[in-house]
Structure 1
Amino acid sequence: MPCPHAPQPAGNDPATPSPESIVHEERAQLDFSRSMSYGDYLQLDAVLTAQKPLSPAHDEMLFIVQHQTSELWMKLMLHELHAATAHIARDELQPAFKMLARVSKIMEQLVHAWDVLATMTPPEYSAMRPYLGQSSGFQSYQYRCIEFALGNKNAAMLQPHAHRPDLLTLVRAAYEAPSLYDEALRLLARRGLPVPASHTARDFSLPYEASDAVEQAWLAVYRDPQKYWDLYQLGEELTDLEDAFRLWRFRHVTTVERVIGFKRGTGGTGGVSYLRKMLDVVLFPEIWKLRTDL
């Protein structure tokens, strides 16, 4: 008589699933016909069919994907910038710091994206350029909203979007709203630092003008970081952000010069000459100047 405690063969154990039931269960787990799939959630049918080259050039796919992915990153950047600015306006600095750090990381992604586009040689670009018409990154409404959100206001930059009233409305709203830096200065003033009213209650659609009084307010923060630790951290988050933005602009210039030289841009700009002028734009001037004066 067999021992009552002896182990039974697996095939005779009613708790052990049969090979047929295992296969059936696996098939059920892989059946997404009745639930949302990965592709459904990410709308991949729309995303992956949005690349429609107009030329026979092999390299046009690179050009399209580069710019489409950059626009996606810019969408996320605007999402974070708007939220960070709103948090600063409400004196909620900790979540704002996380969002600004994320924006700096997004800028790093955009910087490295130029490395991929730089693999396109001048003959390869020339083969597809006639098919681009007047389309140009200069016309990116998201990029323009980023510039405005960071304080680089220029009324002339509304014009490239005049042909699309819906987009012009979005860009104009960014143009007229306080920038990230405007809200940072208003925060300093609320904390009792001597930021003049000319910089806290101004027409926010006008270009920002550097102020010695604003620099003195930031200097007070940087000379006593223990007292003003969160404002000090805010200053450094802004520095990180502009540092990353400058790198993006620089890589843009060098990539364009590498691919098209000094030809005019497809949108009618001076190309490299225009982009080089943008390298001189300083978004948060007092935060940079105080480093000399500390």
Structure 2
Amino acid sequence: MNTSRTSAGEGAGETERIVAEEKAQLDFSQSMSYGDYLHLDEVLGAQHPLSPAHDEMLFIIQHQTSELWMKLMLHELAAATKAVAADQYADSFKMLARVSRIMEQLVSAWTVLSTMTPPEYSAMRPYLASSSGFQSAQYRCIEFALGNKNAAMLKPHAHRPDLLARVEQAYRAPSLYDESLRMLARHGLSIPADHLERDWTQPYAASPEVEAAWLAIYREPHAYWDLYQLGEKLADIEDAFRLWRFRHVTTVERIIGFKRGTGGTGGVSYLKKMLDIVLFPEIWTVRTAL
């Protein structure tokens, strides 16, 4: 009786034949391998659970992979902001689109962590001491790069001068939105002078004049096509960032309820307040004005 199934032995033989046919390299003793290039020994050896809890491995990998995605996000945001400042539309749009996709990965990561139940988290929580995602220097740099400036948020990094210097640099630099408004001004749109040169460490204040500039762009998208596309890329990023924050809130509430966070914040109550922060206000209010 004929069957379409292949036995394990037959499958192995077929694989060997294909590898030989393709002349695949199998000996990496004298050249760089996949693991060498990616430094996988260091990456895969960086998980060191402190508790006997089975689920701590999930918790560690969730946060380590999120930090890797955030590293890439900062890489793209920095380059995109420079491209916007240089009127390099195509480059900035590609990078900003990638930032939105990275945020989608971070949103999905919360779905994996949400498989951890309250008893499972409680078994490992005492071992975390005061460590918390609230102390993530990379997350703080992302917030600052997107314009959510707050001097108090420098303090969690004061114990590490190297990290503090990096966070302070993001704190003192123009945000992506600041550079976007400068681009609008360079293209003849009326932007208030105090929105073009100001103390970049201060939170952004919405402006009727800025909304009017975006309104002109959105009313005539073909006349301002590149600026119109910039506006939509900014909307995409904030849309994705809101989802990231929301999934964070719901995952934390699902796992710990309304207990205080390990880093000393109110936990869910703090995270819910963060949901109300708007990064690019006129990008959203212009929808109502149209």
Alignment correspondent of 2:128: 132
Q: Which residue of 2 aligns with 1:88?
A: 84
Q: Read off the aligned partner of 2:146 and give its amino acid letter.
A: L
Gaps of 5+ in 1: 1-22
* 1:157 equivalenced with 2:153 (yes/no): yes
Q: 1:28-107 alignment to 2 at 5 Å?
A: 29-107=25-103
Residue correspondences, number: 272
Root-mean-square deviation over aligned CA pairs: 1.5
Encode CA deviations 1:77-98: one digit per residue, 9 max, x unaligned: 0000000000000000111000
2:234 to 229, 235, 238: 238
State the match for 2:264 in structure 1: 268
Change in 2 beyond 3 A, CA 1:220/1:124 = same
1:29-70 C-alpha deviation (Å, 9 max, x unpaired) = 311111000000000000000000000000000000000000
Separation in 2 of the partners of 1:293 and 1:44? 52
Match of 1:6 in 2: none
Change (3 A) 1:217 1:33: same
For residues 227 and 269 of structure 1, the distance between their equivalents in structure 2, rounded to whole angstroms, comes to 47
Q: CA separation in 1, counterparts of 2:263 and 2:221?
A: 46
Taking the aligned partners of 2:289 and 2:186, their CA distance within structure 1 comes to 24
* Cα deviation digits, residues 79-134 of structure 1 (max 9, x gap): 00000000000000111000000000000000011010000000000000000010
Q: Give the TM-score taking structure 2 as reference length.
A: 0.92
Residue type of the alignment partner of 1:284: F
Give matches, 1:129-208, under 5 Å.
129-208=125-204
Structure 2: distance between partners of 1:179 and 1:198:
15
Tell me how far apart the structure 2 counterparts of residues 101 and 24 of structure 1 sit (CA, whole Å).
41
Equivalents in 2 of 1:175, 1:24: separation in Å? 55
Alignment of 1:11-30 (within 5 A): 29-30=25-26
Residue from 103, 108, 111 that aligns with 1:112:
108
The letter for the 2-side match of 1:274 is Y
Aligned-pair CA distance for 1:28: 9.3
TM-score normalised per structure 1? 0.91
Q: Which runs of 4+ in 1 moved over 2 A?
A: 23-29
In structure 2, what is the Cα distance between the partners aligned to 1:134 and 1:93? 43
